[in-house]
Amino acid sequence: MRLDKFLKVSRIIKRRTIAKEVADKGRIQINGIPAKSSSDVKVGDELTISFGNKTLVVKIDKIVETTKKDESKEMFSIVSETYREEPTN
């Protein structure tokens, strides 16, 4: 499955266009390698996603084409979630 579609279906990122934009800016890595929105993901891959001051690392547990909101959480597990502090002057 394409990276941007996985992010939307799993509801990690709400819209596919935003997922594509984030990936194409180089803010997403698959197993430590920078990924484009068209990159394929598979079960067992580890995604590192940078959102502003937050970095989210998730492991893909399941891939399905469509899912209900309640079941989307079963598609991935969070490995780590870190926040970078804003510099104070």
Q: Which residue has the higher pLDDT, 46 or 72?
A: 46
Closest CA to 41 of 78, 81, 5, 80: 5
How far apart are alpha carbons 41 and 31 in whole angstroms? 10
At 70 the pLDDT is: 87
Q: Is 24 helix (H, G, I), strand (E, B) or coil?
A: helix
pLDDT tens column, 23-34: 999 999 999 999
Residue 52's pLDDT is 84
Assess whether pLDDT exceeds 80 at residue 79: yes
Under CATH, domain 3-83 is a member of which superfamily? RNA-binding S4 domain (3.10.290.10)
pLDDT digits (tens, 9 = 90+) for 1-54: 999 999 999 999 999 999 999 999 999 999 999 999 999 999 999 999 998 889
